[in-house]
Amino acid sequence: MIKKILFLFIFLTLSSSLALANGEHPKKLTQETDPKAFKIMKERAIDPKTGLPKTLDPHHFRGKARQAYQIAKEIPEVLVQVPCFCECEPFGHENLLDCFIDQHGAG
């Protein structure tokens, strides 16, 4: 189980980096950089069934970014337990799931 989580973490991190390099993020979605605004957005994205924020729809993206958002959508309970290492704490992110509730996960 630990190996699977580690693999998914590495895949999502690399996918996000590759998506940024390939320009695979949509132009109409934005990344929230104000921590207070991000907190409000995160609270509004809470799924009442899981109690976790919903990720953006993978269909807004292409290529590896789409794959990363699809995986994030499928395993939010895992990502919420994984710290993010892309230095997004100044934006208000607390875990890897937070990177996928806005455009941050796509770069």
Q: Which residues contact 31 (CB under 8 A, 6 or more apart)?
A: 91, 102, 103, 104
Domain range list for the chain: 2-106
Distance CA 41, CA 37 (A): 6
**What would the pLDDT profile of 68-80 be if each residue is shown by its tens digit?**
999 999 999 999 9
**What would the pLDDT profile of 43-88 be if each residue is shown by its tens digit?**
999 999 999 999 999 999 999 999 999 999 999 999 999 998 888 8
